Structure formats: structure tokens, C-alpha cells
Amino acid sequence: MYKGIFLGLATADIVYYVPHHLERNQKLKAERQLAYAGGPATNAAVTFAAFGNESTLLTGLGQHPLAHVAKLDLADHKVRLIDCTDQPRRPPILSAIIVDLSNGERSVVYSNTDLRKLRSDAINDNTLEYADILMLDGYYLPQAIQLATLAKNLNIPVVLDGGSWKEGLENLLPLVDYAICSNAFLPPGSTNQDTLFDFLRGHGIVNIAITRDGRPIVAHSQGQISNVSVMPVKTVDTLGAGDIFHGAFCHYILEYDFLLSLERAGEVASLSCTSLGTRAWIEQEKFL
């Protein structure tokens, strides 16, 4: 069993599964509805716990009734929650998600995250006690930098989920050991894969991967660029696949090298796309 610390966004998600994409001014009855916790670090923490690990999530949810949707889901999946919001009575970040059952694609509408903050005392010297790995998703940047600095001093590997570029992220990058980025992660001045690699290497990161949906993952490690194949599956729902990938990577990188960890994490993420929602795959033990 490993111990992972995850710091980042947590949301309360309501997911609607519809037979086709909505047209303008159309009302459409959903074929299925789910509600649970969402967010990059949150789904990664749930995934890490699914491997039988000890998983701790630092985030901001608060005491509003709507926050209990997320809190109950995290408790059900054995994720330890440290709620550090500085405004506990404020509603949590809410997401309304529509998944098109005809192709598995999703659309997401969510409330503003820019003004969300964690308490200044959210991080202390004991936060990373006995931790094996730290994962950050770029949210709550002051605490992310603080925690990554502690991890660096303790030789704890730091994984960054680079979903999209966020202002100030350049201050975190020198503390990152593994940067797993999406196609949408474009720092200032970066326009393609090569410029992104150059940018991240310029900040001292030597293990970099770019996930590209169903296409092969492009990885940079030990001075070489490699393509990591992605297992083809019949896609039902892509929701949270990237987050699941990061959580699985955090588990595998503690056992295998960088490229094999990417491959194994890709298998888990691909298989998660064959069932509805971000949790159903956990119940199918063969996926683990």
C-alpha cells in the first residue's frame, strides 16, 4: 500500500446521459443521471485509492448542503478529505455535465473557480508525513507551491496534471518531477508539442508526457521522445478519463519506470471509457 497526497479542485457533479447532442432551444430527457465528486485531483485521488492505496485529498468544499454530494462519494471510495476552504458556508463549485451516448463525448458547464481559496494554514510540516507521492492539478497554486517545496525537501516525487495553463504556474514547474499534460496545455509562447517540451525542459522537468485522447501518448524521458500506444476500446463515456489516467500513473510510477507507467495508466483510462461515469470501472476488478 502506498500513500498519496492530492491537492486541487473538487466539485459536485451532476451528469446527464442523453441519446444525442442537444439542438438549439431543445428539451431532452436524459436516459440516466449520476451525481458524485469531480475535479482533476479528486478523480485522481479516487483512482489511487481504488488500487488499495491510502489516498488523501486537500481541497475546498465547505459545509453547504450541496457539498455533501461530493463528500459522501469520497467517503464511499475511501478517500480521506482535508477540507481547507476559507469560506465554508459558500456553495461548492458545481458542474453540469452532458454526455452524448452516441459517441461518448461530453460537455461541461461549471461555476467560477478563480476566487476560490484555501485557508493560509492548510499546509503544515506534517501534511506529507509518510507520503510516497504528491499530485497537483494546478489549482490552489499558493498551497501547491508550498506543498511541492516540502515534497522536494523530502525527496517525494511530484506529479503535475497539466490540463490547461494557469497564470503563475511557471513558479510551480521547477518543483515538478513528472508533467503529464493534455493537448490543451499551452504555456505562453508554446504552439505545439516541440515548443511545449522545450518550455518544460527549460524549467528542469525531464519526464514529460502529452496525452492526446485516443491517439498515442508522446513522452519525453532521458533525452528521448517516445510514442506510447493507447489501447483501443469501444468508447461509451470519456468523462474523467484523463483524471483517472493521472491517478493510475501515481500508483504505477511507484512500481515501474516512466514509459511503462504511462502505458499501464493508459490501459486503466481506456477501460474506464467503456462504462458510464467515473466510478463504474472500479467495480470491475479485472481492470486493476
The model's pLDDT over 165-206, given as tens digits with 9 standing for 90+, comes to 999 999 999 999 999 999 889 998 888 888 999 999 999 999
**In the chain, which residue ranges form alpha helices assigned H by DSSP?**
40-50, 67-76, 141-153, 193-202, 241-252, 258-272
Tens-digit pLDDT profile for residues 2-53: 999 999 999 999 999 999 988 889 999 999 999 999 999 999 999 999 999 9
Phi-psi region of 140 (alpha: psi -120 to 50; beta: other; left: phi over 0): left
Other beta carbons within 10 Å of 150: 21
Closest CA to 90 of 58, 62, 50: 62
pLDDT averaged over every residue in the chain? 93
Confidence of residue 285 (pLDDT cuts 50, 70, 90): low
Is residue 54 scored above 60 in pLDDT? yes
pTM: 0.94
CA distances from 146 to 7, 38, 59 (A): 11, 24, 14
Above 60 in pLDDT, residue 286?
Answer: no
Note the pLDDT of residue 105.
Answer: 81
Contact between 282 and 77 (Cβ < 8 Å): yes
Residue 140 grid cell: 490552489
